[in-house]
Structure 1
Amino acid sequence: MADDAAASRRIETGELTPLNEMNPYLQGLYEPVAKETTALDLPVIGELPKDLYGAFVRNGPNPAQAPAGLHHWFDGDGMVHAIHFENGKAEYRNRYVGTDDYRAEQAGFAIQAGGVLAPSARSNPASGRGDLVYKDTANTDLVFHNGSLMALWYISGKPVRVNARTLETIGNETFGGALPRHVSAHGKVDPKTGEFCFFDYSLYEPWMSFGVVSADNQLTNFQKVDLPGPRLPHDMGLTENYIILHDLPVVFTDAGLRNAMWQIKVADQPARFGVVPKTGTGDQVRWFETDTCYIYHVANCWEDGDEVVMTACMMTPNGFPPNPAYGPYASMVNVLALNAVPVEWRMNMVTGQVKKRQLDDRVGEFPVVNLDYTGRKANWSYHVAMAPQELQRFSGLIKYDLNTGAAKTHDFALGVGGSEPAFAPRIGAVDEDDGYVIVFTTDEATGQSEVQVIAAKDFEAGPVARIPLPARVPAGFHGTWAPGDQIVA
């Protein structure tokens, strides 16, 4: 237990091993917090709208113990931060996600799995972990479905149910024991049917899969899709009738596959989008080839006549060479310097043709829409603006008109980093952008975090309310909006 106490102190005081003194993603905006906090009836600068009811929740990596070995930012234990709004008041909570691996480590057990900078457990079959070959952290995304949250992991892991009000872990989700394997990070919920649509993939085998879960949490379809080789997809698309799968040319190197190490390359092959009916089978996927590219995150998809439309952030070279000042973390820092632009692809289901249109040349990522328009024609998308620097910093927000590419911006103050936002429809909303954009921000110099609430229709006017928080919110990954009247107590 002495070692555990020392590890906790290292997180709380910022003390790191010499190896991790070179790791920028354990310091500054990215430094983990040591405590879980509950704060009620928070002070407000400005005025909180009384027609804002629900919770803005955001996931991210937060190692419970300071790492001794090489540590990738993506490897921290999942921690959820939430701001709950009701009757013009706000309350804040943060809690760790109680994955099997987190609970085992907290109990003092060795889990026989590390992060992506270490050899995977595949190189040690005696670990007994099967296809959970890295530490499963559920630190990537949050999806609100059937009255509660699911915390999800980007490599495909066990989904973990979390109470959307208290953030307490409910337990692993298996959809009544019917889930065949795992769920990857970026599933989608159909707002009309309440269905949760997801995908899964194998790191080392040539297949992926897709599934559909009903509004009452029953698995209604699960299909395996054969691929030319192992793939590393990150997101998927959803329309009213279709799921859109990604077969992209970022793959493991031969040495990475041979040595069970996270070593990747861009292969000389086209990107492919696989369109399949939600109720379809694996052999019904229709593949559309387009230019070589990688996509981390989809904004939205919909059907337009004979075409299936997908808007997403397309990665382009970031222009930064690996910086030797980061030592063994130079490659990680370089890959994390996201450089993406908004692009629309139209896949014609009659002719088989793909049309591609770049909407803007500004660099941004982590797109979100009004979730009531998921899978249907949406006019607006809200992205984070990426600061032109090596470290991944969100320097502001961009509101895009998805029809024209026209944009409005909201810049954070100098030295402040933000998070992926969420759109919260106003109670009684009458159209798509009738509501609020909500975001966590943190001042790197002072460590002060706050929540900003922005009226979407008056986006450039800045926040109508700011809520200083009693705890720092480190930079993290994805969030979502949970409507207050749908949260199950």
Structure 2
Amino acid sequence: MPLDQPIAVAEQLGSEPGSAGAEENPYLLGIFAPVDTEIAADELDVIGEIPLDLNGVYLRNGPNRRFAAEGRYHWFDGDGMVHAISFEDGRARYRNRWIRTAAFEREAVAGHALWTGVMEPPHGNPIGTARGLPFKDSANTDLVHHAGRVLATWYLCGQPVALDPLSLETLGAETFLGTLRGDMMAHPKADERTGELMWFDYGARDPLLRYGVVGRSGQVEHEVAIDLPGPRLPHDMAITPNWSVLMDLPLVQDRDAARQGRYKITFDRETPSRFAVLPRRGDAAQVRWFEADPCYIYHVVDAWEDGSTIVMDVCRMTRPEPRPTRPGPLGKLLGYLRLDARLHRYVFDLATGTCTETPLDDANVEFPTIDSRRTGTGGRYAYAASIADAETVLFDGLVRYDRQTGERTRHDFGPGRFGSEAPFAPRDGSTGDADGYLVSFVTDARDDRSEVEILDAADIAAGPVARVRLPQRVPVGFHATWVRADQLASR
């Protein structure tokens, strides 16, 4: 296979579709199983009282397969579906909608799957990305609020898809007035103070990494190609008021396997991690590279400026190389999805050109969130999902970190109950990044029912201040966002 083919996320496990054997894939069962009904519900059962100063909408994205495809199923293959619950004056409304991507619409017309999943060779697949690659861009990964719309994104870099945050209507692929050339990664960073959106695009063809800025004009106003030693798999980035931080991490496609037509990801323990620091609208000549120990990072907590240094907190993977969870091909597939991450800090000294790194906690946490109003400024509090000790990716609780005192506070969802990423939801008139709530979908694996938990962000250990029961199960999914009432009013 030519090396200009897309970088995949996992090794090809066998030569024939279904070679994972007769074992049932747990990412299609139980609380992961797709739902096939789009509903809207206004009359919801509430345990406790929904706070009157909680006004806005909580939205969460995730994979929800519509048509079974040939070969092995990977959790990342499912069509994007958004579940949302909106709050207004103590009332709650729920709705869910598939994201009508170009690929979704093509398969709807065909009445069957047109793409194989990422565990299968892409030969014969239709072109599915703006870069011209034969993968299905499902927009199933993150949700980012920007300029009155919510953008649904895809983990391998795809076209952002604009959604109305209340109706969840798909408004179409977001090209930023025709100025976005190519694709956008899963986690663009919105700066609410300036109205800018920072993003990157990567691939196995030149340019290997592109970084850009969408301005208040709604157009891509700045774009620069950044040179890398070879194709990489960056997933996230960081911003501060003056700087952006990009990553060159040593989790790469195995070139020998690629030449043989196989997909295999290799962690190169002999190659350092590198971080590119550049002015927000800087050019390639202004990039400063900082080296650190080899690792992989899925998600950044936040970054901020401290004198001549940039501080960046992340969830750092401790085992970048996947380890099978059971014998056989299915065990390898499941191994690629395991999360084993710890809170970690990098300090990039712009005066000396040095990087220092420090572990901050020993708990396995991921999917971090902060007060979006404070992005890039180093707010006091950060929140993260606790990763359950299970074969599949499950969130068994939430953790709040006080970055001034180092204190860690935890909320457990309870036996058999698993939640979602929980963005910070400021209360009306909020004055701080704990002056509000955390909102999360929670599903009980014992009775297959879902609800929404509302926690006081200042005291998550006290448990929910309210629980809202939902009319259908919400499958375990990926990333979430909170859109405030004032943001809804300005759309």
The TM-score normalised by the length of structure 2 is 0.92
Amino acid at match of 2:107: E
Residue matched to 1:295: 297
Q: Distance in 2 between matches of 1:360 and 1:59?
A: 28
Inter-partner Cα distance in structure 2 for 1:52 and 1:463: 14
The equivalent residue for 2:68 is: 66
Instruction: Find out whether 1:315 has 2:303 as its counterpart.
Output: no
C-alpha distance in 2 between matches for 1:389 and 1:41: 35
How many Å apart are 1:387 and its aligned residue? 1.0
2: CA distance between counterparts of 1:193 and 1:260? 46
Which residue matches 2:11? none
Q: Does 1:440 align with 2:441?
A: yes
Q: Which residue of 2 aligns with 1:53?
A: 55
**Which segment is superposed worse, 235-244 or 35-44?**
35-44
Conserved in 2, the CA contact under 8 Å of 1:51 and 1:427? yes
Amino acid at match of 1:401: D
Q: C-alpha separation between the residues in 2 aligned to 1:255 and 1:415?
A: 43
**Pairing of 1:101-140 with structure 2 (within 5 A):** 101-108=103-110, 113-121=115-123, 131-140=132-141
What is the rounded CA distance, in whole Å, between the counterparts of 2:142 and 2:126 in structure 1?
A: 30
Q: 1:86 is matched by which residue type in structure 2?
A: E
Partner of 1:391: 392
Is contact 1:230-1:251 (8 Å) kept?
A: yes
2:3 maps to what in 1? Answer: none
Residue 319 of structure 1 and its aligned partner are, at CA, apart by 10
Counterpart in 2 of 1:200?
201
Q: Using the alignment, how far apart are the partners of 1:145 and 1:444 within structure 2?
A: 34
**2:344·2:357 contact (CA, 8 Å) conserved in 1?**
yes
What are the Cα deviations for residues 180-211 of structure 1, in whole angstroms up to 9, with x where unaligned?
A: 11001011100211111111101355620111
Amino acid at match of 1:295: I
In structure 2, the CA distance between the partners of 1:191 and 1:256, relative to structure 1 (3 Å rule), is farther
Amino acid at match of 1:223: V
Q: Are residues 1:458 and 2:450 paired?
A: no
Partner of 2:33: 31
User: Aligned ranges for residues 150-165 of structure 1 at < 5 Å?
Assistant: 150-165=151-166
Superimposed CA distance per residue, residues 148-171 of structure 1 (whole angstroms, 9 cap, x where no aligned partner): 100000100011000000001000
Change (3 A) 1:116 1:47: same
CA-to-aligned-CA distance 1:460-480 (integer Å, 9 cap, x gap): 101101001001111110011
The one-letter code matched in structure 1 to 2:108 is Q
Question: Are 1:427 and 2:428 an aligned pair?
Answer: yes
TM-score normalised over the length of structure 1: 0.92
**Higher percent of residues as helix:** 1
Taking a change above 3 Å as real, the CA distance of residues 388 and 109 of structure 1, as seen in their structure-2 partners, is closer
**Who is 1:183 aligned against?**
184
Work out the CA distance in 2 between the residues paired with 1:369 and 1:45: 27
**Change over 3 Å in CA distance of 1:323–1:375 after alignment to 2:** closer
**Matched-pair contact (CA < 8 Å) for 2:439–2:454:** yes
Contact 1:62 1:77 in 2 (8 A): yes
Match of 1:100 in 2: 102
CA distance in 1, matches of 2:79, 2:213: 27
Rate the CA distance shift 1:259–1:172 in 2: closer, same or farther, 3 A: farther
CA 52–20 in structure 1, closer or farther in 2 if over 3 Å, else same: farther
In the alignment, structure 1 segments of 5+ residues that lack a partner are 1-15
Does the 8 Å CA contact 2:302/2:376 hold for their aligned counterparts? yes
Q: Distance in 2 between matches of 1:448 and 1:228?
A: 48
Counterparts of 1:264-303 in structure 2, within 5 Å, are 264-267=265-268, 268-303=270-305
CA distance in 1, matches of 2:322, 2:291: 29
Partner secondary structure for residue 145 of structure 2: strand
What amino acid is the match of 1:374? Answer: T
**Contact kept in structure 1, 2:247 and 2:275, CA below 8 Å:** yes
Moved more, 210-219 or 418-427: 210-219
* 1:230 partner amino acid: P
Work out the number of aligned pairs and report it.
Answer: 471
- Answering whether residue 346 of structure 2 is matched by residue 342 of structure 1, we say no
CA contact (8 A) 1:422 1:481 kept: yes
Instruction: Give % identity.
Output: 44
2 CA distance for matches of 1:315 and 1:150?
27
Which amino acid in the other structure matches residue 96 of structure 1?
A: W
- 1:355 aligns with 356
The structural deviation recorded for 1:120 is: 2.7
SS of alignment partner, residue 34 of structure 1: coil
Distance 1:199 1:428, change over 3 A: same
User: In 2 relative to 1, CA 319–288 (structure 1 residues): closer, same or farther, beyond 3 Å?
Assistant: closer
Q: Distance in 2 between matches of 1:484 and 1:109?
A: 39
| CA spacing shift, 1:278–1:109, aligned 2, 3 Å | farther
Letter in 2 for 1:257: A
Q: Distance in 1 between matches of 2:468 and 2:212?
A: 39
- What is the one-letter code of the residue matched to 1:255? D
2:228 paired residue number = 227
Query: Is residue 164–residue 482 contact of structure 1 (8 Å, CA) maintained in 2?
Result: yes
Counterpart code for 1:445: R
Instruction: Tell me if 1:411 matches 2:412.
Output: yes
Q: Does the residue aligned with 2:94 lie in a helix, a strand or coil?
A: strand
Please tell me whether the aligned partners of residues 20 and 329 of structure 2 are also in contact (alpha carbons under 8 angstroms). no
How far apart, in 1, do the equivalents of 2:19 and 2:40 lie?
30
Contact map agreement 1:231 1:248 (CA 8 A) in 2: yes
